[in-house]
Each structure stands twice: as C-alpha cells, then as structure tokens.
Amino acid sequence: MTPSHHRLTNFQSIQPQGILAADKKHFEAIRKGDIFIQIPDGDKSKKMYVKNILYAPNLSITLLSVAYITQARYILYFKQ
C-alpha cells in the first residue's frame, strides 16, 4: 500500500477497499498500480517490480507485506 500515486505505473481505479491498520486506524484504497522499489544488496541495490500495490491516499508511508513479497518468490533476509 502506498500514499504515493506518482510512484505507481499502470494506475487503475478499483472498488474502494477498507484497510484496518495495526493501530486500529481505518484507511481506504481507491486505486492500484505497480511500483519499482530499491532493495539493498550488500554495497549495491536492486530494483524490484511489485504489481497490484493499493493506493490509499491517507496513509503516511508505503507499506509492503512480507507475505506478499515471499509469495512472489523473493527471499528476504533480516539481520541486525
């Protein structure tokens, strides 16, 4: 989900979808599109193309689901 419509390609209208955030705030997604994001990879970074990202103008930041990314056959590593 993203509030940044200018970053989306293939921008399409959708039936409004309610979103309940972890802090119990309600948002509404009104469009969807595709987005490129930069992923750190050691000293470099790679671009990842993610499809069907919901556009919710009242969100404050872009959120990506770990489950969604792994379903797309990407592997995530988290380290401290």
Greater confidence, 78 or 17? 17
- Output phi, psi for 12, to 5 deg: -135, 145
Q: What is the pLDDT of residue 35?
A: 92
Asked if 64 and 48 count as a contact pair (C-beta separation under 8 A), the reply is no
**Share of residues in the chain with pLDDT > 70 (%):** 100
Q: Where are the domains of the chain?
A: 5-71
DSSP string, 52-80: EEEE-TT-SS----HHHHHHTT-------
Q: 72 pLDDT exceeds 80?
A: no
How many alpha carbons lie under 13 Å from residue 13 in its C-beta half-sphere? 1
Average pLDDT over residues 36-58: 89
| pLDDT number for residue 19 | 92
